[in-house]
Amino acid sequence: MSLQAAAPRLILASQSGVRAGLLREAGLVFEALPARIDEAAIKQGAWAEKARADDTALLLADMKAQRLARSMPEALVIGADQLLVCEGVWFDKPEDVDAAAAQLRALRGKAHVLVTAVVCWLGGQRVWHHVTRPKLTMRTFSEGFLAEYLAREGEAVCASVGAYRLEGMGMHLFERIEGEHAAILGLPMMALLEFLRQHKAVLG
């Protein structure tokens, strides 16, 4: 017997291995498809218009899901996005290890928020959305630690908006973490699973 209903089929509008892993670990059967949008341009426009980080993360998640949902209305399409905000500044994935080092120095000894949004589309329309704001406080680590951390993690630091993998060596960067672990990784699973239960997509 499966926890998941036969319909609707689930589509993850993302190529994120971490998000796919979270769904897989929850026992969900789904298909992950790329949803190509110009994230950089959308973020730049939102920043210029002084948009709220919550609204921008939600817009990005919505556009990803909508991109696929229009052509497959019978599927439940999940879109997600995440913005890192520290002292009013938005951070993106670093372009290289040097940029990651600069970003980690900027976050060192400070608290930042991971504005994490998820939306679901079904039947050609958005049927649900959720935004959560995990808060993480970095410790005041030494330059020696930073050099060793970057040497060990290598290019992996460029795959995360925070230049860290909390599921790996990045745990050493923090003194305090508040919020759901899955949401920090990029997908608020508790809220998403509750939505899926309410819509009979998984057993209640």
DSSP letters, 72-122, are -TTSEEEEEEEEEEETTEEE---SSHHHHHHHHHHHTTSEEEEEEEEEEEE
Beta-bridge partner residues of 78:
12, 120
pLDDT value at residue 27: 94
Across 190-197, average pLDDT: 97
For residue 175, is pLDDT > 60? yes
- Give the DSSP letter string of the chain: --SB-SSSPEEE----HHHHHHHHHTT--EEE------HHHHHHHHHHTT--HHHHHHHHHHHHHHHHHTT-TTSEEEEEEEEEEETTEEE---SSHHHHHHHHHHHTTSEEEEEEEEEEEETTEEEEEEEE--EEEE----HHHHHHHHHHHGGGGGGSTTS--TTTGGGGGEEEEES-HHHHHT--HHHHHHHHHHTTSB--
Q: For residue 81, indicate whether it is catalytic.
A: yes
**Which CB contacts under 8 angstroms, 24+ apart, belong to 191-200?**
191/118, 191/130, 191/132, 192/78, 192/118, 192/120, 192/130, 193/26, 195/120, 195/128, 195/130, 196/76, 199/76, 199/122, 199/127, 199/128, 200/5
The yes/no answer on whether domain 10-198 falls in CATH 3.90.78.10 is no
Instruction: List the catalytic residue out of 38, 54, 62, 81.
Output: 81
Q: What pLDDT is stored for residue 39 in this prediction?
A: 87
Answer yes or no: is pLDDT of 5 > 90: no
Mean pLDDT calculated for residue range 84-109: 96
Average pLDDT, the chain: 94
- 190 pLDDT band (50/70/90 cuts)? very high
In the chain, domain spans: 10-198
Q: Is the pLDDT of residue 185 over 90?
A: yes
What does the pLDDT average to over 7-13?
A: 95
Distance CA 105, CA 146 (A): 9
Q: Give the pLDDT band of residue 40 (cuts 50, 70, 90).
A: confident
Weakest mean pLDDT among 24-33, 86-95, 130-139, 160-169: 160-169
- pLDDT, average across residues 20-31: 96
Whether residue 180 is predicted with pLDDT greater than 60 in this model: the reply is: yes
List own/partner pairs for 59-62 with CB under 8 A and 24 or more apart: 60/117, 61/117, 61/118, 61/119, 61/129, 62/117, 62/119, 62/126, 62/129
